[in-house]
Amino acid sequence: MHLIGLRGMSREKMVGLLDAAEKFLDPQGKVTTPSEDRALLKGKTLALLFMEPSTRTRVSFEIAVQRLGGEVVTVSAEGSSVKKGESAADTCRTLASMGVDGFVVRHHDRQLPHVLVDRLKVPIINAGNGSGEHPTQGLLDALTLRRHFQTGEDLSGLKVAIMGDIVHSRVARSDAHAFSTLGAEVTLVGPRMLLPSDDRTEDWPATITNSRKDALRWADAVVVLRIQQERIHGNLIDAHEYAMNWGIDTSVVNGYMTPDTMILHPGPVIRGVELSDPVVDSDRSLILNQVTNGVALRQAVLKSYFN
């Protein structure tokens, strides 16, 4: 009923969602909605409660709800009574009392999705809870890898590096759980202060390295992450220094990566920091494929959790 995280989700459930998402992509890879699915959410209203900024997740959920025939209301901190001090949980209870049939929620509080599951009787989809999880991103990244590398049902045999600010990233955690559950080998790579302290844990099912060169030589694909400055308390990371040591530009690509190594990024990309302009726009970038696949995947999630 609820989609809060990918930790603990079975391989079968993940494969089922990826297979369902494929049905919302045409042979050219464009998003499509088969006629039999266009009224799936008819008569239902979903609330998107986005208390942190978002472009991709929020808009793709809005599009996905509308394509399936549902109504959507979007509530952000600005302009809502949250600004006057109402809690996000009370805002959701208020909307549920108006007859909202489910929630897609982004909030800095890692506990909020769990609180909503306890208090509300409608489906809750987590669209990012602080540094917790971002399950639809993990699934759409898995879908993007599966489609590009044609790995079959899951990601067995694939080697994926997740690079950058790992400890503050909900995408890193959901990606690591998705990829490892689907059979890929996963390594986390970045500066020591942005890496988890232990590898192969229940929280981080992956190996860990702080060698950019080793990780990029090893990987079939690298998921590059933004520095989550908004979640770093104390010393911020110097963007110029980070770009020098951890950014991927053409010389890094040519020096360490094979011609077939692909680059993913959940966005937003800070050009010139984690990726240079030419690399973002190169043929090895799957960034816009991720965005397209995100709409299909979210249609599949809505179909599964709201039907």
Residues that bind ligand CP (CB under 6 A): 54-58, 128, 134, 137, 266-268
Say if residues 98 and 110 touch (Cβ distance below 8 Å): no
The CB-of-168 to ligand CP minimum distance in angstroms stands at: 13
Question: How far is residue 248's CA from residue 244's CA, in Å, rounded to a whole number?
Answer: 9
The CB-of-195 to ligand CP minimum distance in angstroms stands at: 21
DSSP SS3 for 297 = helix
CA 302-30-274 angle, 5° bins? 85
The CB-of-133 to ligand CP minimum distance in angstroms stands at: 11
The CB-of-294 to ligand CP minimum distance in angstroms stands at: 8
Question: How far is residue 142's CA from residue 194's CA, in Å, rounded to a whole number?
Answer: 23
The CB-of-3 to ligand CP minimum distance in angstroms stands at: 15
Nearer to ligand CP, 55 or 201 (CB): 55
Question: How far is residue 52's CA from residue 134's CA, in Å, rounded to a whole number?
Answer: 13
Nearer to ligand CP, 7 or 265 (CB): 265
Instruction: Give the DSSP H/E element, type plus range, for residue 284.
Output: none
DSSP 8-state assignment for residue 100 = -
Residue with tokens 């590898």: 199
DSSP 8-state assignment for residue 275 = B
The crossing angle, in degrees rounded to 10, of helices 11-22 and 135-149 is: 70
The CB-of-156 to ligand CP minimum distance in angstroms stands at: 25
Enter the tokens of residue 110. 């890692």
Distances (CA, A) of 163 to 43, 61, 113: 42, 26, 27
The CB-of-57 to ligand CP minimum distance in angstroms stands at: 3
Nearer to ligand CP, 55 or 245 (CB): 55
Nearer to ligand CP, 141 or 185 (CB): 141
Nearer to ligand CP, 247 or 266 (CB): 266
Nearer to ligand CP, 26 or 230 (CB): 230
Say if residues 139 and 6 touch (Cβ distance below 8 Å): yes
Nearer to ligand CP, 50 or 204 (CB): 50
Residue among 31, 113, 100, 115 at smallest CA distance from 70:
100
